[in-house]
Amino acid sequence: MEDIRNWETTLNPKVSLVLSNKKDAFVLQRAANLNVQSLVFSPSQLREPGEVVQKALEKNNINLVILAGFLLKMPDHLVEQYDRRIINVHPSLLPKYGGKGMYGDKVHATVIAAGENESGITIHLVDHEYDNGTHLFQAKCPVIKEDTAQTLATRIHQLEKDHFPRVICEYIIKLRKESYL
């Protein structure tokens, strides 16, 4: 979140709201430290049109939704309302190792078990299917013979930190040029 906020000098984006379905998510503390409003919601409040999540997004005039560490499927009404404006980062080189249930260490363990020699991240738009939207960017890292899910995760997290804020900002520029934001 801090990395995205550092682009303010050129793009003037604003992190206006942090949402989580987990009341103990570390991002909520980060939001509080940065004086960013946050909201904890239940999965049913995400799924229902006109419920808490949709109301919070609309009340705060949110025009771009960024998902990081978010494991729930975005409901159709939000995918349609925020068409081309929901971005996710996935810890593999999609289309490999994506889909329902493929997240975090599960992805890394599966990559290692499959004998892959590389892994990476995919930053993509969210559509109606898990990990299926248009790819905005991919970055690779090696899978080392001695890797565990945790050691591979360390390299994957570094890729996310190195690339996610930049790709978001590049996409904001693209959407503004197209008058879509």
Phi, then psi, of 180 in degrees rounded to 5: -95, -10
* C-beta of residue 82 within 8 angstroms of C-beta of residue 65: yes
Q: Give the tokens for residue 1.
A: 């979140």
Q: Catalytic: which of 90, 108, 124, 163?
A: 90
Question: End-to-end alpha-carbon separation of the chain, Å?
Answer: 20
Is 90 an annotated catalytic residue?
yes
Distance, CA of 150 to CA of 54 (rounded, Å): 35
How many other CB atoms are there within 10 angstroms of residue 68's CB atom?
12
* Active site amino acids: 90
